[in-house]
Amino acid sequence: MSAGRSPRDKRMSIDEVVAELSDGMTIGIGGWGPRRKPMALVRAILRSDLKDLTIVSWGGADVGLLLRAGKVRRLVYAFVSLDSVPLEPNFQKARQEGTVPEVVELDEGMFQTGLRAAAQRLPFLPVRAGLGSDVLVHNPDITTVTSPYADPDGVHEELVAVPALRLDVALVHLNRADKHGNATYLGPDPYFDDLFCMAADRAYVSVEQVVDTAGLTVDTPVQRLLLSRMLVTGVVETPHGAHFTTCTPDYERDERFQKAYAAAASGSDEDWAAFEQRFLAGDEDAYQAAVAAFAEEEQA
């Protein structure tokens, strides 16, 4: 909470959020691949001295950028994709070169179950997802349990015991919030952002716009109110803060910029250094200005 604000006013700056993070934390990043990622907060982590992080994500460029910057000690993921670019190139490079100290790859159902276990403060939850797959082969620490209850045929079913994905911090991006932390999405999908927040000790939400509480439901179905203020530690107003991922209906994915990002990530070290210098060397305002200049060049 910013100095001088009331306890119910949870507005913060990007840098204030990052100042509350520390080395070695487990950070869950909401969104889904290249959709509604809290990219402004991710970019702020890139500018920080944070290191040795455990990142938990249905990953996109958030994971790729943090891996390329050497911020990640342990990565827990179900996939890492940019959709129109099937494999996120910085992630692909890190996996092929073996530069990620520890990886935990989960079935998507197992990933969701791990978050649900953490949200309920349980050590694990049983699930059928993952049975018979190589997920268990490559993660031998994930075990199975036998149901104490027999099915109608008298069989005690074997299930995967998915460990809780407990998070120190969750970072998510939504369309609108009030200053208290109530937040709403306006697009087609919540992307489990509420689950990330419930699984975390602290949750920070960046939004396109902070509005009055009454404005959260104007022309918006009340069920789109995804986050209660009880789940949220801080709120950051950061227009275009999900760029270059989608934030429907405010904006869609910036495919031209994503193509440039992917080309730089897949290219030489010099290509990547030039991309970093142009887009990632400054603060968020500098990033947005560089993106605007890039868009003008592409349209010329």
Residue 214 banded pLDDT, cuts 50, 70, 90: confident
Residue 224 banded pLDDT, cuts 50, 70, 90: confident
Instruction: Give pLDDT tens digits for 98-144.
Output: 999 999 999 999 999 999 999 999 999 999 999 999 999 999 899 99
Contacts of 3 (CB under 8 A, 6+ apart): none
Domain boundaries, the chain: 14-107+165-299, 132-161
Asked whether the predicted pLDDT for residue 2 surpasses 60, the reply is: no
Check if the beta carbon of residue 189 is closer than 8 Å to that of residue 157. no
Q: What is the SS3 string spanning 199-248?
A: CEEEEEEEEEEECCHHHHHCCCCHHHEEECHHHCCEEEECCCCCCCCEEC
Instruction: Choose among 72, 124, 125, 62: nearest CA to 99.
Output: 72
Instruction: Give pLDDT tens digits for 153-195.
Output: 999 999 999 999 999 999 999 999 999 999 999 999 999 999 9
Give me the sign of the Cα torsion angle 203, 208, 210, 215: negative
Q: What is the pLDDT of residue 170?
A: 98
Domain 14-107+165-299 has CATH 3.40.1080.10: yes
Contacts of 285 (CB under 8 A, 6+ apart): none
Taking residue 27's Cβ as centre, other Cβ atoms within 10 Å add up to 26
Q: What is the pLDDT of residue 71?
A: 98
Rounded distance, CA 257 to CA 139, Å?
36
Q: What is the pLDDT of residue 174?
A: 97
| Mean pLDDT score of the chain | 94
Cis status of the peptide bond prior to 244, with omega within 30 of 0: yes
Strand intervals (E) in the chain: 26-29, 53-59, 72-80, 102-105, 124-127, 144-150, 156-163, 167-177, 183-184, 200-210, 225-227, 234-237
**Residue 199 tokens, joined:** 């699984």
Stretch 67-77: mean pLDDT: 97
Global pTM value: 0.94
Residue 222 banded pLDDT, cuts 50, 70, 90: low
Asked whether the predicted pLDDT for residue 3 surpasses 80, the reply is: no
- Cα distance from N-terminal residue to C-terminal residue, the chain: 43
Rounded distance, CA 71 to CA 54, Å?
9
Instruction: Give pLDDT tens digits for 41-66.
Output: 999 999 999 999 999 999 999 999 99
Percent above pLDDT 70 for the chain: 96
**Residue 255 tokens, joined:** 């495919």
Check if the beta carbon of residue 108 is closer than 8 Å to that of residue 81. no
Rounded distance, CA 40 to CA 166, Å?
23
